[in-house]
Structure 1
Amino acid sequence: MSKVQDGTYYIINRVESPNGERLCITFNGEGQPPTVTAKRSDSAEQKWRITTFSDGRTQSIVPAANTGLECAWGPGVVTVLTPGQYVWTIRSSEGGYTIKDGGETQVWGLNVANVGSQIAIGNDTELERQRWTFHEA
């Protein structure tokens, strides 16, 4: 399985909204969970920097709109906090990329593919809502 290379990306869910919108992870501020919103190419809040840690395996996910923060594990959802070396593994899979915790036991996904949905963290049930695409920003 290949990983995403370091760079700045739009992270888009494999499932579109009921209105046919491509759902892009969107930064909502420090201490807030990101949500998915319709992809807009002019949105700094939808750009995320991926950087590989020195172990060569795990990566950080940082909002380009505030590089002093990073994605962390909140209560059942992804949240954005001050850096704490929160690590994720981003790997290609059959249906798209998975974003999992460093131990690769829990996966990011959407409970409902709708604008405004938070990114849940839970067991990998191999649903398309737990698969993502990465588009260079």
Structure 2
Amino acid sequence: MQVEVLTDEDGLKGAWFAATIIEPSGEDKYLIEYKTLRNDDDTEFLREVIAACNIRPCPPEIIVVDGFKVWDAVDAYYNEGWWVGVIAKVLINSNYEVSFIEYDEKTTFNLADLRPHQEWLNGKWVVP
């Protein structure tokens, strides 16, 4: 099953990473394999046991027709994962400055690397 996994590892906190559930691993835990994160010697994709509360289905695709506006909540694809931010500035050529409030950082992204932010609440996807 294809999912996204929230990690609490230093430098990656708050980001969701694409993964595959390999098998159950105890009560409310699963062995997963990341689709983008690699092990320390870069020989294979990283596997680890994750609590079920840090696993969610992949969000449905939402087509963005007219781009984003300032203050829109987005997920930005950065460092192999999806990070929650807000549009701080609309730039030219479908580029946006995204503010990551938790990290007090701003970075520029192209529309292709952004998606509307969605929350997985009570078994349903919700757009805040």
User: Which of the pair has more CA radius of gyration?
Assistant: 2
TM over 0.5: no
Higher RCO (Cα < 8 Å, 6 or more apart): 1
TM-score by length of 1: 0.28
TM-score by length of 2: 0.30
More strand by share: 2
